[in-house]
Amino acid sequence: MRNIEASDITQAVARLCQQANFELGQDVLQALKKARQQEESSLARDILDNIIKNAGIAGEDKLPLCQDCGTAVVFLKVGQEVHITGGDLYAAVADGVCHGYTEGYLRKSMVSQPLSARTNTGDNTPPVIHTEIVPGDALKIAVMPKGGGAENMSRLAMLKPGAGSKDVTDLVVQTMAEAGGNPCPPLIIGLGIGGTAERTMLLAKEALLRPVGQPNPDPEVAELEEEILNRVNSLGLGPLGLGGTTTALAVHAEVIPTHIASLPVAVNLQCHSARHQEVVL
Amino acid sequence: MDALAIASPINAGVIDKLKAGDRVLISGVLYTARDAAHQRLVEALDSGKELPFDLKGQTLYYLGPSPARPGQVIGSAGPTTSARMDGYTPPLIAAGLRAMIGKGSRSPEVKEATRKYRAVYFVTIGGAGALLARTIKKAEVIAYPDLAAEAVMRLEVENFPAIVANDIHGGDLFEQGRARFQRDSI
């Protein structure tokens, strides 16, 4: 058994919220630079240059990469030999979000109730927390500030079990065509395939944590990722949807077992401001 | 093609010349408004009340910035998705609004209103809020302070980069751009 102080978790989450909002990952930056080299539209190249420049300015000025500092989505991998002391785990995470967003001058975008009383909670809490119990005595925390524009274009479909990869590809292409410029392309497309409705939606989001462009280890899935990427980039939407050959930077698909009657497919889109940072305590 | 420097409020003669795909650098005054502020502006128009600022000839920027650090003019300041404003936009254009800045495409009703009343819709770079913040020289909340990040602000900008998406001649860069680079149908 290993003790981890709740206050250490709060500090770590606060730091990750700020770091994720100010610093674009090197993997994302490299993918953007590569796309800039290959892009056929001059307007789109100009837009990509500005997006790359924005990342530099955000780091320099400690300004958020995007004014939408997102819902704080927090992934916890809790070792089963970990004992949290000095407070409640989820309260510690929420405190971290409150401190990170307040002290980092990040935009607070959470409202307390989604229907009539859309009152801002003032500190970007509550976070959305996903917890997984894993072997070991470490606690891994990943913070993903998820913007509304791309999240709003998510999709879940329960396909027929015999549908296969062609229908999965068509679904993603259709989703992208309808989303147009709204989710701030170029995107990273998170794809969950299998499981149940709620499990595959989470799988699609978890897929976004993978380093950009790292293929799925399963060759069949990696081939599907590439096929979808090619189809999506053939749509012509381009950066911001204004035309071009760079609509997506990568497709990350994850596949899990499912029911004999089902083929659930979830699409979770990530804008080019693909922000996530993690730490192991 | 080089970007065209234009002043805001935008002169009607300039509006007439802008074409979908033109790059511009805007200097002058912009007013910010998002969903909640749009709702209030349209409610005020509907009930014949005075608006908190004179809309005639002005430019609206769909922005809810992050908070300014001490010593900074504004926080990160990029556009939000314009489609959410579509329902409110035609009456505002009819009331004199001349230009809008956001991201993403517009509804047929908004496009029709831009043609009919000679207004223009610009897109700026979604997700480049830090870069855009550097072009904002002054920012002041002028209405609905209770809306916090969604309050209406008066901004003074210098060389704010934007691209004409919908012009008064019916040009639509979303359709034109996509048609030019599409290699595959759905």
Q: What whole-number distance in Å separates Cα of residue A72 and Cα of residue A90?
A: 13
Single residue among A128, A146, A164 that ends a domain in this structure:
A146
Q: Using one digit for the tens of pLDDT, what is the confidence trace for A82-133?
A: 999 999 999 999 999 999 999 999 999 999 999 988 889 999 999 999 999 9
Residue B1's pLDDT is: 60
Task: Establish if B16 belongs to a structural domain.
Answer: yes
Asked if A157 and A133 sit in the same domain, the reply is: no
High-pLDDT (> 70) share of chain A, %:
100
Across the range A170-193, mean pLDDT stands at 96
Report the run of H or E that residue B32 belongs to, with start and end: strand B23-32
Asked if A15 and A82 sit in the same domain, the reply is: yes
**A54, A152, A180: residue with CB nearest B130:** A54
Q: Hey, which residues does A159 pair with through a beta bridge?
A: A263
Task: Establish if A174 belongs to a structural domain.
Answer: yes
Minimal Cα–Cα distance from A261 to chain B, Å? Answer: 27
Q: Does A271 touch chain B (CB under 8 A)?
A: yes
Q: What whole-number distance in Å separates Cα of residue B5 and Cα of residue A95?
A: 46
**B63, B125, B183: residue with CB nearest A236:** B183
Asked if A268 and A159 sit in the same domain, the reply is: yes
Across the range B62-86, mean pLDDT stands at 96
Asked if A12 and A109 sit in the same domain, the reply is: yes
CB atoms within 10 A of CB A5: 14
Task: Establish if B85 belongs to a structural domain.
Answer: yes
Q: Does B83 touch chain A (CB under 8 A)?
A: yes
Q: List CB contacts of B24: < 8 A, sequence separation 6 or more.
A: B3, B4, B5, B6, B18, B122, B161, B162, B163, B164
Residue B144's pLDDT is: 94
Q: Does B39 touch chain A (CB under 8 A)?
A: no
Encoded amino acid at A246, one letter: T
Task: Establish if A27 belongs to a structural domain.
Answer: no
Tokens encoding B128? 């480049």
Task: Establish if A99 belongs to a structural domain.
Answer: yes
What's the domain count of chain B?
Answer: 1
Are A129 and A76 contacting, i.e. CB atoms less than 8 angstroms apart? yes
Task: Establish if B185 belongs to a structural domain.
Answer: no
Asked if A112 and A96 sit in the same domain, the reply is: yes
Q: Using one digit for the tens of pLDDT, what is the confidence trace for A15-33?
A: 999 999 999 999 999 999 9
Encoded amino acid at A76, one letter: L
Task: Establish if B161 belongs to a structural domain.
Answer: yes
Asked if the Cβ–Cβ distance from A180 to B104 is below 8 Å, we say yes
Phi, psi of A117 (to 5 degrees): -95, 70
Q: In chain B, which residues have their Cβ closer than 8 Å to the Cβ of A41?
A: 177, 180-181
Asked if the Cβ–Cβ distance from A67 to B64 is below 8 Å, we say yes
Task: Establish if B110 belongs to a structural domain.
Answer: yes
- Domain of B35 in residue numbering reads as 4-179
Task: Establish if B186 belongs to a structural domain.
Answer: no
Task: Establish if B41 belongs to a structural domain.
Answer: yes
Task: Establish if A52 belongs to a structural domain.
Answer: no
Asked if A160 and A220 sit in the same domain, the reply is: yes
Asked if A131 and A194 sit in the same domain, the reply is: no
Are A242 and B126 contacting, i.e. CB atoms less than 8 angstroms apart? no
**A66, A238, A241: residue with CB nearest B104:** A241
Q: In chain B, which residues have their Cβ closer than 8 Å to the Cβ of A28?
A: none
Single residue among A130, A146, A162 that ends a domain in this structure:
A146
Task: Establish if B184 belongs to a structural domain.
Answer: no
- Domain of A138 in residue numbering reads as 2-20+65-146
Asked if A136 and A13 sit in the same domain, the reply is: yes
Single residue among A146, A162, A182 that ends a domain in this structure:
A146
DSSP state of B66: P
Residue A118's pLDDT is: 86
Cα angle value A55/A59/A61 (rounded, 5°): 115
Residue A10, pLDDT above cutoff 80 = yes
Encoded amino acid at B19, one letter: K
Asked if A226 and A198 sit in the same domain, the reply is: yes
Residue A213's pLDDT is: 87
Q: What is the CATH number of the domain that holds B11?
A: 3.20.130.10
Angle between helices A26-38 and A42-61 (to 10 degrees): 160
Closest residue in chain A to residue B22, using alpha carbons only: A43
Asked if A195 and A134 sit in the same domain, the reply is: no
Asked if the Cβ–Cβ distance from B133 to A63 is below 8 Å, we say yes
Asked if the Cβ–Cβ distance from B178 to A238 is below 8 Å, we say yes
Residue B186, pLDDT above cutoff 60 = no
Cα angle value B85/B91/B94 (rounded, 5°): 125
Q: Does A186 touch chain B (CB under 8 A)?
A: no
Q: In chain A, which residues have their Cβ closer than 8 Å to the Cβ of B80?
A: 68, 149
Task: Establish if A47 belongs to a structural domain.
Answer: no
Task: Establish if A59 belongs to a structural domain.
Answer: no
Asked if A11 and A140 sit in the same domain, the reply is: yes
Task: Establish if A58 belongs to a structural domain.
Answer: no
SS3 B171: coil
B169 is catalytic: no
What's the domain count of chain A?
Answer: 2
Task: Establish if A251 belongs to a structural domain.
Answer: yes
Q: Does B181 touch chain A (CB under 8 A)?
A: yes
Q: Is 0.85 exceeded by the ipTM?
A: yes
Asked if A163 and A235 sit in the same domain, the reply is: yes
Minimal Cα–Cα distance from A84 to chain B, Å? Answer: 33
Q: Does B127 touch chain A (CB under 8 A)?
A: yes
From residue A199, alpha-carbon distances to A155, A163, A192, A230 in Å are 13, 19, 8, 27
Interface test with B, best of A18, A60, A242, A275 (most B CBs within 10 A): A242
